[in-house]
Amino acid sequence: MRDRLSQVLKGHQADYAEVRLETNEVSHITYRGRRVDEITRAASSGGNVRARVGGGWGFVSFNELDGLKDKVALAVRQARLVNRQEGYFAPAEPVVDIVPPEVSKDPRSMPFADKKKLLDEYNEIILGTPGIQTSSIAYADAFKKVTFASSEGSYIEQSRVDVTLRVAAVARDGGEVQQTSLSLGSKGDFGVVEGLHGRIGELAKRAVEMLSAPKVKNGEYTVILDPVLAGVFTHEAFGHLSESDHIYENEKLRQMMVLGRKFGGNLLNIVDGAAVPGLRGSFKYDDEGVPAQKTYLIREGYLVGRLHSRETAGVMDEKPTGNARAVGYLFPPIVRMTNTYIEPGDVVFDDMIKDIRLGIYAKDWYGGTTSLEMFTFSAGEAYMIRDGKVAELVRPVTLSGNVFTTLANIDAVGNDLEMNQGGGCGKADQAPLPVSNGSPHIRIRRCLVGGR
Amino acid sequence: MYDYLSPAKKVAEHAEVFIVHARRTPVRFEANQLKQVQTKESTTVALRIIKNGRIGFAVGNGAIPPETLVAMAVETVPFGPEAEFEFPAADNYLPVNVFDAGVDDVSIERMAELGLGLIEKLREHTPDVLCEGNVSKQVSEIRLSNSRGMETSYQRSVFSVNIEGVLVREGDLLFVGDGESSCRPIMDCSRIAESTIRQLEYARVLTRLDSKTMPVVFTPIGIASTLVAPLGVAFNGKRVVDGSSPLKGRQGEKVFDVKFNLWDDATLPFQPGSCPCDDEGVPSQRTPLVEGGVVKEFLFDLQTARQAGTKSTGSGRRGGGLPGPGSSSLIIGEGVESYQDILKQIDEGLLVEFTMGAEQGNLLSGDFAGNVLLGFAVRNGEIVGRVKDTVVSGNVYQILGSIGALSREARWVSGFLKTPYILCPGLSVVSKGV
């Protein structure tokens, strides 16, 4: 394969060209209530060619692997057509490597029947809870192998196994409907989705309790976020803003995001990196063949780094960070997060909450999105804080705000970092990309809270 | 192309093969310039079999040999859902035209000109605006056949133009933009330019609103981003069958305002959501969902229709997996008042053009809270400036249960929703102001 690809990438008349070939296999099981909604097996084989001429790109994706040389020629022709003169592409050492999948309890070696038995158990726990209307469960495991070759001499084969589980309980009382959910994931370890019986039982009970829970009065509150929700906040509110493709061609945004700018208090440290083994956002090389790293984005409150592809690093005259990722062969790599987290501080939970007269303790993840400056993210579970203590359960809340003021309003960082592996990130139609995010408990002053 | 149906029929009582071959050419703009030209060609084969009364299902992208795909589907059968329906027999579909050969004839150079021309118009108005966007064309061929002798195919072409402009001022990001999608080539971008320029114009001044309950007007784009997702869930036959739709059992009941009419129409010519038949071979139709505030019908595919004891509404749609009920083009009936007259009724209120995060609300109960990413303060009937750091929240069923007014002007949003402006007499608005 290596010889074939290096042959294909010869004599192409572009400044740079690369080929990616992918095979993947996915198994997918979903339930709606007692009914199995879907069991699917899917297999794909395909690939793409990307070529750069100056600052313009051509991209060709395909399922049929024949005629690769013609596909390279088409990508080069398209890149020429863009006719953008100046192009910057940060240098990267060519790499030759074969990376086997990181697996512990491999879902591929388990029969469908065993997976279904476990899901049946979870489903029965939910449906057996009084007050529950229905359930929904979605389990998937995916194996993916990507072969990458570039005109600079890189040749990398990487494989990975991704496991995801989302469980939701729906409670209904007349026209009132409330839902609670749980999302988990792992890189190649089925064990992560096992043994959740207790958690799922509580999830179902909470959905029923939420039917009679009051709504929060909209307004500004002091909030404490649990590690899961604080991780989502980190991803939405700051992670996306750190992706250099949003700013590299916008002079004014670059000024706004100048390194050294103070974003938060000295207690705030934010990191992204794929070089940690075993997390869903981990890998050895990104989709441009750049080795995974650990990048400090904020250190002691100051902006110190950002996430790059080779192009954004070239334009901004910085170093690539190994953050160019594509969700699959239908798309070119773009700047993405990997594992993003707030580093732990030293505040224990009791100290964080004790001075809050009226506030909100928001837990668990339901969704999140950003426009760079503004973000919203929603909790799966929320409680009032009254006189320094966690008080009554309330309906889930949506938190919203401006990243520049909100980061500065973080005034306590806990000592209890946890990583959340249940999310999938979406950007520019590319979703869901496996990422993880995390944080210790954090406290934010004056956060806009809306009931939902 | 391989024959998938014959080997599948050998191992199962019934079989169905759904094949989509698509070629898409997106031309991408960044920082006001052309950036990337893509060609994406893909072939997807979905095989659904019924064996021992159960459904087996497999999907292949690319050159997956028939015996492999059949074996994959057979592997899922013992655990698959019970088949409660039969595949449809051959039918004479009424023609629904969703193909224009002219789409594929638009050259990449012409697409580049279109996008650059649109950017130029925006920059004439606001020189500092930095635009990104896409002009894309797609041609697909859809082929469907089953073991009851049904065999059909049709072509669909889609042309779309999308633009987003960002304007950075000290400590402030303003996003504007719009788009259009059609089965015919879009050769005139002036409507997109006008609506985006109007956003820039209204956003010139930053102003503030007090936090309180006030009248709120949602524009068509505002409705798409704030109010539509819960309706998609509530009228989905799958949600009706499992009881999670709040409208289950309320057919014939007046749930919405008498002014509110909603329907799904898969037969409109040259709309990207239209088709002669759905993804299971059931003829397309227009399905009334709400008439005069009364809940009429829900959207069903074959399986959920049988479970609900009714007939498929031709709403079987596929998004990579088994077919499920889904909308084609959703249309909210227009009202009688002009948009300008509606604004004139407002002493102090909010005009919502785009919200972010509302779809993370409780889609089942209809409760939402959305960050007003683009919205304007209205005073004494006039738009007086942009507001930010603002959250609008409420309940979709309450809003559509007592509508202040629907405008007589209506428009398409992204090719899949047509709606007028909607006035809500009182909604909670929380604003940090400037």
DSSP states along B323-353? -EE--SSEEEPP-SB-HHHHHHT-SEEEEEE
Residue A400, chain B, CB below 8 Å: the answer is: yes
CA distance A237 to A406: 9
Chain A residue closest in CA terms to B211: A219
Report pLDDT for B434: 47
- The Cα B11–Cα B71 span in angstroms is 9
Count CA within 13 A, CB hemisphere, residue B321. 17
Q: What residues in B contact A132, CB-CB < 8 Å?
A: none
Question: Over pLDDT 90: what percentage of chain A?
Answer: 86
Q: Does A175 touch chain B (CB under 8 A)?
A: yes
The alpha carbon of residue B40 is apart from the nearest alpha carbon of chain A, in Å, by 5
Residue A177 in this model has a pLDDT that exceeds 90? no
d(CA A22, CA A336): 19
Q: Examine residue A432 and say whether the peptide bond preceding it is cis (omega within 30 degrees of 0).
A: yes
On whether any CB of chain B is under 8 Å from the CB of A401, the answer is yes
Q: What does pLDDT average to over chain A? A: 94
- If pLDDT is split at 50, 70 and 90, which confidence band does A452 have? low
pLDDT digits (tens, 9 = 90+) for B364-399: 889 898 999 999 999 999 999 999 989 999 999 999
**Is a pLDDT exceeding 50 seen at residue A333?**
yes
Beta-carbon contacts below 8 Å between A and B: 259
Q: Does A61 touch chain B (CB under 8 A)?
A: yes
- Tell me the nearest-neighbour CA distance from B145 into chain A, angstroms: 20
Q: Residues A31-56: pLDDT tens digits?
A: 999 999 999 999 999 999 999 999 99
Sign of CA dihedral B34, B36, B39, B45: negative
Distance CA A334, CA A59 (A): 13
Cα dihedral A79→A84→A88→A91 (10° resolution): 20
Flag whether residue A250 sits within 8 Å of chain B, measured between CB atoms. yes
Question: Quick one: CA dihedral A90, A92, A98, A104, positive or negative?
Answer: negative
Please say whether the beta carbons of A18 and A95 come within 8 A.
no
**Crossing angle between the packed helical segments A68-82 and B108-125, to the nearest 10 degrees:** 30
Asked if B30 is an interface residue toward chain A (Cβ–Cβ < 8 A), one would say: yes
For residue A273, the SS3 value is strand
CA distance B161 to B133: 8
CA gap A214, A311 in Å, rounded = 50
Q: Which helix (DSSP H) or strand (DSSP E) does residue A448 occupy?
A: strand A442-451
The encoded tokens of residue B198 equal 């109007």
Pairwise CB contact (< 8 Å): A452 & B369: yes
Cα A346 to Cα A416: distance, rounded to the nearest angstrom: 8
Please name the member of A179, A367, A369 whose beta carbon is closest to the beta carbon of B364.
Answer: A179
Question: Would you call B348 an interface residue with chain A, using a CB distance cutoff of 8 Å?
Answer: no
Q: Which pLDDT does position B433 carry in this prediction?
A: 57
Collect all residues of chain A within an 8 Å Cβ-Cβ radius of residue B36. Answer: 56-59, 78, 82, 332
Where is A365: in which H helix or E strand? Answer: strand A358-370
Provide the pLDDT for residue A237.
85
- Strand ranges, E, within A33-154: 35-53, 56-62, 96-99, 132-150
- Higher per-residue pLDDT: A371 or B141: B141
pLDDT beneath 50, residues of chain B = 434
Residues 92-151 of A with CB under 8 A from B: 112-113, 116, 133-134, 136
Are B244 and A172 inside 8 Å of each other by CB?
yes
Contact B299, B233 (CB under 8 A): no
pLDDT band at A451 (very low <50, low <70, confident <90, very high): low
Closest alpha carbon within chain A to B393: A450
Residue, of A1 and B266, whose pLDDT is higher: B266
pTM: 0.95
Q: Does A185 touch chain B (CB under 8 A)?
A: no
Dihedral angle over CA of B256, B246, A182, A163, nearest 10: -90
Strand A132-150, strand A324-325: pairing: unpaired
